[in-house]
Structure 1
Amino acid sequence: MADLFCDVKEILGFKYRYFISSKGLIFSMASGKLRQLNPSMRDKNRNQYLFVRLELEGELKGVNIHRLVAENFIGPKPSDEHVINHKDGNKQNNDASNLEWTTIAGNTQHAYRTGLAGGRKHGSYKGPVCAENEEGFGYVFFDSKQAIEAGFNPNSIRDAVVKPCKKLFGFYFSRINNTGQIHKGVQS
């Protein structure tokens, strides 16, 4: 515990009420005693960033822990175009040694390079999508880029695949499995 306190700093802007360690642990002195705060997850299905609620001028404010660590141990945000990158891809590893400032483009490149982002090489890739109209004409999309190039919004395609009876721009969308079979939904 002693070496933990060597890496603890006051969180600026909170009047000596909150402290942060370089490991991403948050401590409060609000009650007069030092206690560790338990982080929460913003959206368990989506971004998985840990955050804490800190009181500022009578209001609770949700703050991402990785941002607090970066600002207090790495340095201020270099520009508005910069974001925080988790080097190991684990959004819950908020150790200062795992964080770095990068551009949005750099963060995206890192995600693809390490296999964190979608696409055919990603573990969550579900297979290509087939778009077919009533005359049998269609497209096959292997990734979002191809869908965009054909003039479709990938998010709309995803919704149409989830609700297979939904027609989008005259097309029905379905997923092609790894054996080449098209999984069509009920079309009305």
Structure 2
Amino acid sequence: MLSENAKDIPGFEGVYAVTEDGRVYSHSRVVKAAHGSTQLRKGRWLKPKINQGRVLYNIGAKWTFAHRIVAMTFLPNPENKPQVNHIDGNPLNNNVNNLEWCTQSENIKHAYATGLKKPIKFFGTKHPKHKLSDDDVLAIKSSKESLSVIAAKYGISKTWASRLKRDANWVHIKVDSNGNTTTTTNEGIREKCG
């Protein structure tokens, strides 16, 4: 039986409802069977699936995280933030009081603060699998050559060359538009992430 604290899921009104603690209910309804007849599908609580420590439900033929379902249903999102954060850091606690809308940056900072994400230990030439030196990275980041030329010259993929140029990798080394370089220490990287 459906409890009082349940609300219909936006986009699935009359089909699915969710409780404030993240359980999903499929309403009783008449559906068309494969051979064209109709049948009554009785209301029932859907069985969740746990994947990588997170709860999912199959609604509308798509597996959806329980925390997103709860947030979409119960939490206003006036700033249109794209992600949902578990305030206590426990991805199995999908209670509406434990959820908040956030940006990707806010979500990552929260993950470091709660210990869900560990600080970077090795980067750049200190990483055991590094291929490039700091000088190589400086040359790549300040280069005006095409990604194909850079990739061939340094024995890396075009994707990797692009990530270096965009500062997605080796973030401790920066080259500004004037060609000035700055380098950040391990502690500086940890401060930015945590």
Name the TM tier (shorter chain).
0.5 to 0.7
Please report the RMSD computed on the Cα atoms of aligned residues, expressed in angstroms: 3.3
Question: Which of 9, 16, 26 is residue 18 of structure 1 equivalent to?
Answer: 16
Alignment of 1:15-164 (within 5 A): 15-29=13-27, 30=29, 31-42=40-51, 44=52, 48-55=53-60, 60-76=61-77, 78-79=79-80, 81-119=81-119, 128=122, 139-141=125-127, 150=134, 151=137
- d(CA) in 2 for partners of 1:91, 1:77: 23
CA distance in 1, matches of 2:79, 2:99: 14
Residue type of the alignment partner of 2:116: L
CA contact (8 A) 1:77 1:101 kept: no
The structure where strand makes up a greater share of residues is 1
Give the deviation of 1:34 after TM superposition: 2.5
Q: Which amino acid aligns with 1:65?
A: A
**Aligned structure 1 segments of 4 or more residues deviating by more than 3 angstroms:** 146-151
Q: Spell out, residue by residue over 1:109-168, the C-alpha distance to the aligned partner (whole angstroms, 9 max, x if none).
A: 111111111226xxxxxx658x9xxxxxxx3249xxx999944xxxxxxxxxxxxxxxx8
Secondary structure of 1:92's counterpart equals coil
TM-score normalized by the length of structure 1? 0.55
| In structure 1, C-alpha distance between the alignment counterparts of 2:90 and 2:24, rounded to whole Å | 18
1:26 positional shift: 0.3
More helix by share: 2
Stretches of structure 1 that go unaligned for 5 or more consecutive residues are: 121-126, 132-138, 152-167, 170-188
Structure 2 CA distance, aligned partners of 1:94 and 1:103?
A: 18
Unpaired segments ≥5 residues, structure 2: 30-39, 138-154, 157-194
Q: By how many angstroms is 1:23 displaced?
A: 0.3
Give the counterpart letter for 1:95 in structure 2. Answer: N
Q: Which has the larger radius of gyration?
A: 2
Q: In 2, are the aligned partners of 1:74 and 1:96 still within 8 Å (CA)?
A: yes
In the alignment, the residues of structure 2 paired with residue 35 and residue 82 of structure 1 have an alpha-carbon distance, to the nearest angstrom, of 30
Q: Secondary structure at the match of 1:6?
A: coil
Pick closer, same or farther for the CA change 1:149–1:18 going to 2, 3 Å. Answer: farther
Distance 1:147 1:107, change over 3 A: farther
Between the two structures, name the one with larger relative contact order (CA 8 Å, sep ≥ 6): 2
Report the alpha carbon displacement of residue 93 of structure 1 after superposing the two structures with TM. Answer: 1.2
State the number of aligned residues.
125
* 3-state DSSP of counterpart to 2:14: coil
